[in-house]
Structure 1
Amino acid sequence: MRICARCHRPIKGHEAYETQDRPSASGQGQTLYRHAVWCPDDPPPTEVAPTHRRRYGRAG
């Protein structure tokens, strides 16, 4: 069974998927599977990191 690395849902037989090999220096590597198009019922991310950060602390 193939599980999507993005949404952690099974990839069904009729769904297209892509693979990515992840080598490991200390042992056997991994093969990651992902849906070829965005995962079902999940919209694409619009923001992956904060655009700015507030600094909290004493003024002065």
Structure 2
Amino acid sequence: MLRSGLEQQQLLSEAYYNVTINLKDVSDEAFRLTQRRVSELLQEAKDSVASILDAAENRT
């Protein structure tokens, strides 16, 4: 199950970057605020994944 969750996080990261690249010229302020929040959430997810992987590695 751990691997499945990590794989999903990776796919979501790739989707996020794809959308970001394709919509880079959007200037709508509400969109920009949402984009910043999503970026923060993505970083939190990456940090969580790193912590989980470290804990799993140290457990064995």
Taking structure 1 as the reference length, the TM-score comes to 0.26
Which is richer in helix?
A: 2
**Bigger Cα Rg:** 1
Which is richer in strand?
A: 1
The answer to which structure, 1 or 2, has the higher relative contact order (CA under 8 A, 6+ apart) is 2
